[in-house]
Amino acid sequence: MNMQNTTAIPSYLSIESLGPWATYLTQIERVTPYLDKALLPWVETLIRPKRALIVDVPIRLDNGVIAHYEGYRVQHNLSRGPGKGGIRFHPEVTLSEVMALSAWMTIKNAVVNVPYGGAKGGIRVDPKKLSMPELERLTRRYASEINILIGPDRDIPAPDINTNEQVMAWIMDTFSMNQGRTATGVVTGKPVTLGGSLGRHDATGRGVFICTVEAARRIGLSIPGARVAVQGFGNVGEAAARLFADAGAKVVAIQDETGSIFNPNGFDVRRVHRHRIETGQLAGVPDAEAIDAEHFWACDVDILVAAALENQITEHNAPAIRARILAEGANGPTTPEADLILQDNKVLVVPDVLANAGGVTVSYFEWVQDISAFFWTEEEINSRLDRIMRDAFAAVWDAAQNKGILLRTAAFVLGCERVLMARKLRGLYP
Ligand code: GLU
């Protein structure tokens, strides 16, 4: 984003603290020339979050000390429906990051055409340092603090980094206790016994896999035998790796926050996962060679899945990437500078707002099932997910071909135009 245009920077952030929001601003700047001219008067709506709540989350630790954590919930845009997006517990969460993540949710929800706006939340905390009872108190207090924003028809949280089904169950319960009724539809990603959806656990990784298969088909890359590297071995990376291996690809490199491992013959992904759970690290997996981070990015692979955090692929490591397809399982893993390098090197980037939209798509199915109190089979869920992901991929691919633009730009055109059209039709109040 042209930083001369200081009106683009909200007063509560400085240029230095823009963080991932700067990436998002640049993405909007890059897409703007391709948007329908009739929508341009509304485009500034995309760089102004509708509302942002910062909350203090005090809890009593097990040792009796009172600790304070900073929490956020940002509703970036509600033009197409209630807010929707996950909650992240991470020691480096910032307002700028949550703003960017909420904005990517707005675009993502529009790309797969689920009837939601975009929102995101987070707490600046290292949950691994908390006991289970402390984590429960933290979650319940945070849920109470953001209670003024959330609700099944207002804003529906879901899991994100370091939050899971149990955390969603606590949020659902806290909200329900305050309401005096059980409101399952207030969060998605819940345990199946509490109105969660079959297929939700794997949904994001499955969406990454489906999009990559679609991309591979179009560039003549066969999945059986393809070599795959996966960064991030959490909910998204593990499921994607498993699905690639099941489809006959060779997952030759895996990296997470504990290290990087390599096996030219391909890993048994389920075995790696068991080892990771039992030992808490990747090191020590049988037949694995430990490699350094630099080597990981330079691995000779066909497909690279980035399923960790933002800003992982930068101008420093992008030149080393040899994959033909980079699938963004994480939100915002590639910086705008790296995007240009990957473009020059003919690496096909399947952007986050498309590639990882499978999670929120099945969240939408969960919410529909909760509201209608009628639950679907896993086959129904997976086949509907497959259809939505493949249709969205085709729409983005065709737009990119027709206009001669990158998949990221094409996905943003599709998403932004849907949001701006809704905004325009609703008009300005009062
Ligand atoms: N946290 C996930 C994402 O970034 C899922 C959000 C949701 O299901 O609402 O897309």
Q: DSSP assignment of 365-385, as one string? A: HHHHHHHHT----HHHHHHHH
Flag whether 430 is in a domain. no
Give the integer Cα–Cα distance in Å for 120 and 73: 6
Give the integer Cα–Cα distance in Å for 5 and 7: 5
Residues 209 and 178 in one domain: no
Strand partners, 51: 75
Pocket residue to mutate for ligand 1, from 75, 187, 360, 365, most atoms within 8 A of Cβ: 360
Low-confidence spans in the chain with pLDDT less than 50 = 1-4
Flag whether 425 is in a domain. no
Q: Within 10 A of 52 (CB to CB), how many other CB atoms are there?
A: 16
Residues 207 and 346 in one domain: yes
Look up residue 164 and give its two tokens.
């899971």
Looking at the 3D structure of the chain, how many domains does it have? 2
Residues 88 and 118 in one domain: yes
Last residue of one domain, picked from the residues 355, 384, 403: 355
Q: Decide whether any atom of ligand 1 lies within 6 Å of the 45 Cβ.
A: no
Residues 288 and 338 in one domain: yes
Res 5: pLDDT: 53
**What stretch of H or E contains 87?**
strand 83-90
Q: Do the beta carbons of residue 429 and residue 79 sit within 8 Å?
A: no
φ/ψ of residue 313, rounded to 5: -110, 110
Flag whether 305 is in a domain. yes
Give the integer Cα–Cα distance in Å for 126 and 364: 29
Atom of ligand 1 nearest to the CA of 357: 10
Look up residue 383 and give its two tokens.
């086949």
**CATH of residue 123:** 3.40.50.10860
Q: Within 10 A of 45 (CB to CB), how many other CB atoms are there?
A: 19
Q: Decide whether any atom of ligand 1 lies within 6 Å of the 356 Cβ.
A: yes
Ligand 1 centroid, distance to 160 Cα (angstroms): 6
Q: What does the CA dihedral 147, 150, 151, 152 come to, rounded to 10 degrees?
A: -150
Residues 178 and 241 in one domain: no
**Which of 120, 128, 346, 424 is labelled catalytic?**
120
- C-alpha 279: how far from its chain's center? 27
Strand arrangement, sheet containing 325-328: 289-291, 259-262, 250-256, 227-231, 303-306, 325-328, 348-350
Residues 58 and 139 in one domain: yes
Q: Decide whether any atom of ligand 1 lies within 6 Å of the 106 Cβ.
A: no
Flag whether 114 is in a domain. yes
Residues 182 and 223 in one domain: no
- Look up the domain containing 343 and give its range: 203-355
- Nearest CA to 301 out of 353, 269, 347, 351 is that of 347
Looking at residue 282, the DSSP 8-state letter turns out to be S
What are the distances in angstroms from CA 197 to CA 82, 192, 248?
19, 6, 28
Residues 148 and 81 in one domain: yes
Flag whether 389 is in a domain. no
Atom of ligand 1 nearest to the CA of 85: 9
Q: Decide whether any atom of ligand 1 lies within 6 Å of the 362 Cβ.
A: no
Flag whether 124 is in a domain. yes
What are the distances in angstroms from CA 167 to CA 160, 170, 323, 341?
10, 5, 36, 39
Q: pTM of the entire structure?
A: 0.97
Flag whether 142 is in a domain. yes
Q: Decide whether any atom of ligand 1 lies within 6 Å of the 418 Cβ.
A: no
Last residue of one domain, picked from the residues 134, 158, 188: 188
Pocket residue to mutate for ligand 1, from 105, 120, 154, 168, most atoms within 8 A of Cβ: 105
Residues 224 and 105 in one domain: no
Query: Between helices 358-372 and 200-218, what is the axis angle to 10°?
Result: 140
Residues 224 and 319 in one domain: yes
- If DSSP codes are grouped into helix, strand and coil, which group holds residue 170? helix
Flag whether 27 is in a domain. no
Residues 155 and 215 in one domain: no
Residues 57 and 107 in one domain: yes
Ligand 1 centroid, distance to 223 Cα (angstroms): 26
Give the integer Cα–Cα distance in Å for 159 and 204: 11
Ligand 1 centroid, distance to 377 Cα (angstroms): 21
Give the integer Cα–Cα distance in Å for 146 and 240: 32
Atom of ligand 1 nearest to the CA of 108: 10
Ligand 1 centroid, distance to 250 Cα (angstroms): 27
Active site residue 424: no
